[in-house]
């Protein structure tokens, strides 16, 4: 079970949003590379990065900050936000991103995801961000008419490395992970599923280590780390002791 610390980028800064609302952004670090290095020093093994501006623009908008983070750490980095064509996928993987996360294009252009997953085995993930069960796109600005289960089904045999399932209603609000919906998704498919949205405390770590959640590949933690509600050392120790 991997605990992914999150770095969300807006205007080159490290921020956290509430429910994906760009107007409700809190800046936590002006230097994303320093934040990434801090997470590495704390013992985390895999970094989760989102280009928020890119998610809205449909193309990379914080490339300089991402490239600085890649230079600052040696741990693998997964990146989402504005990745909607093969050229962008290839460019990020060539620059050192371990795994790209495709969200909007997974809804609108599933063949892109399937083709990329075949071409780059283990390096393409799908981001499913759900609001009231329906997948949101364009940086969560629009809600589609399809469910996370319907989207996931498209990629069951496509070689997708992981599904990152985010409950938008909980994201950034420290309400705890929506494990019921996440586990239900993981139980239906063979693709590894990562939980996201609402991570609040060590209780979430304990819940992830319960037998019912063992199928999950990990979880993403953001605000709880930034405001000190989750002690990284305690969380990682608990995960390692359960391994």
Comparing C-alpha atoms, which of 215, 103, 98, 198 is closest to residue 152? 103
Tell me the two tokens of residue 10: 């807006």
Q: State how far the Cα of 12 lies from the Cα of 144, in Å rounded to an integer.
A: 29
Candidates 53, 129, 167, 204; catalytic one: 129
Q: State how far the Cα of 48 lies from the Cα of 88, in Å rounded to an integer.
A: 18
Candidates 8, 53, 167, 204; catalytic one: 8
**Angle between helical axes of 110-119 and 86-95 (0-180°, round to 10):** 40
The answer to whether 31 is a known catalytic residue is no
The alpha carbon dihedral of 1, 147, 223, 29 has a sign of positive
The answer to whether 53 is a known catalytic residue is no
Q: For the purposes of burial, counting CB atoms within 10 Å of the CB of 162, is it exposed (0-12), middle (13-18) or buried (19 or more)?
A: buried
Residues with a catalytic annotation lie at 8, 129
């Amino acid at each position: 079970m991997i605990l992914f610390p999150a770095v969300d980028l807006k205007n080159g800064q490290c921020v956290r949003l509430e429910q994906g609302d760009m107007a409700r952004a809190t800046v936590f670090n002006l230097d994303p590379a320093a934040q990434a290095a801090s997470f590495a020093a704390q013992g985390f093994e895999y970094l989760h990065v989102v280009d928020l501006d890119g998610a809205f623009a449909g193309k990379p908008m914080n490339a300089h900050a991402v490239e600085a983070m890649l230079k600052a750490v040696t741990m693998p980095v997964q990146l989402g936000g504005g990745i909607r064509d093969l050229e962008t996928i290839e460019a990020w993987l060539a620059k050192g991103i371990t795994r790209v996360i495709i969200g909007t294009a997974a809804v609108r252009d599933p063949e892109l995801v399937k083709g990329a997953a075949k071409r780059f085995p283990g390096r393409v993930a799908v981001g499913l961000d759900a609001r009231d069960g329906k997948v949101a796109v364009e940086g969560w600005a629009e809600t589609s008419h399809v469910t996370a289960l319907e989207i996931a089904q498209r990629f069951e045999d496509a070689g997708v490395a992981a599904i990152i399932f985010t409950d938008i209603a909980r994201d950034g609000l420290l309400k705890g992970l929506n494990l019921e919906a996440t586990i239900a998704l993981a139980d239906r498919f063979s693709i590894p599923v990562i939980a996201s949205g609402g991570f609040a405390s060590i209780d979430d770590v304990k819940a992830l280590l319960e037998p019912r959640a063992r199928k999950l590949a990990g979880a993403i933690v953001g605000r709880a780390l930034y405001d000190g509600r989750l002690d990284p050392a305690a969380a990682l120790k608990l995960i390692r002791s359960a391994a």
